[in-house]
Amino acid sequence: MKLKERVALITGAGAGIGQATARKFASEGATVILCDRNSQMVQQEAQALNADGHSAHAYTLDVTQREAIDEMVDDVKSKFGRVDILVNNAGITQDARLAQMTQEQFDKVIDVNLKGVFQCTQSVVDTMIEQKSGVILSASSVVGLYGNFGQTNYAASKFAVIGMTKTWARELGPKGIRVNAVCPGFIETDILKSMPGKVLDRLRDQCWQRRLGSPAEIANVYAFLASDDASYINGVAIEVSGGMSL
């Protein structure tokens, strides 16, 4: 098991890629701290994992709420003594073309996808520095590499995640902490529900594997990057898209 005795905090763990990541990390022996603003989903997921013999703990958490993040991290430290891995996975979309995008749509996406990542990372970083070890992983996207029609706010947030990742890799690498980002292509989760069927068909065709990805295929990459198998990988943004950008 690659993540035995690691304490891993995963945001947005109630559904989709975050849920799959919690399952994968638990199966690799980690104690998983599942955080999500959706209380019911995260409680259910933690219960299911515990019923399977894993160590899972649910926290209702909105990553835009700094005080609540700090309280959760303090609680995790007092109960488990450390934080080894942070997966900044929580993210949202609010799509519109540039001319139609409201200030509210722009701000909401930046608040969750960018400021949420900053806040959660800042909240755990002192603990990791004290430990002289840690792994910070964040959800970017192919949209954070290439942009996307109708996603000014989302693209801005996901490009920013890569910028923060490279900055933190420089600041924290010398302190024993690795920082990387994952850039999924189009993965079959609820976040794609707002996309028209025709657009999804086109995305499938664009991908050289001719299909969308599954949440488990992204979770596998997070597990690899979180593990000692990736001990010399720092400051990268890994595209996991079935080759859609080729």
Identify which of residues 125 and 207 has a Cβ nearer to ligand NAD in the complex: 207
Q: Tell me how far, at minimum, the Cβ of 154 lies from ligand NAD, in Å.
A: 7
Identify which of residues 67 and 190 has a Cβ nearer to ligand NAD in the complex: 190
Q: What are phi and psi of 206, to 5 degrees?
A: -70, -25
Q: How far is CA 186 from CA 96, 182, 240, in A?
A: 18, 13, 9
Does residue 187 touch ligand NAD according to CB under 6 A?
A: yes
Does residue 220 touch ligand NAD according to CB under 6 A?
A: no
Asked whether the beta carbons of 187 and 17 are under 8 A apart, the reply is: yes
Does residue 72 touch ligand NAD according to CB under 6 A?
A: no
Q: How far is CA 127 from CA 49, 120, 123, 235, 244, in A?
A: 26, 12, 8, 20, 38
Q: Tell me how far, at minimum, the Cβ of 161 lies from ligand NAD, in Å.
A: 8
Q: In what order do the strands lie in the sheet with 177-184?
A: 55-60, 31-36, 7-11, 85-88, 134-139, 177-184, 237-240
Rounded to whole angstroms, the Cα distance separating 220 from 130 reads: 28
Q: Which of 8, 90, 145, 179 binds ligand NAD (CB under 6 A)?
A: 90
Tokens 């993040």 identify what position?
Answer: 69
Pairing of strands 31-36, 134-139: unpaired
Q: Tell me how far, at minimum, the Cβ of 213 lies from ligand NAD, in Å.
A: 7
Q: Which of 25, 46, 83, 184 binds ligand NAD (CB under 6 A)?
A: 184
Identify which of residues 130 and 201 has a Cβ nearer to ligand NAD in the complex: 201
3-state secondary structure of 237: strand
Footprint of ligand NAD on 15-54 (CB under 6 A): 15-18, 36-38, 41
Q: Which of 3, 72, 76, 139 binds ligand NAD (CB under 6 A)?
A: 139
By CB under 6 A, name the binding residues for ligand NAD.
11-12, 14-18, 36-38, 41, 61-64, 89-92, 112, 116, 139, 141, 184, 186-187, 189-192
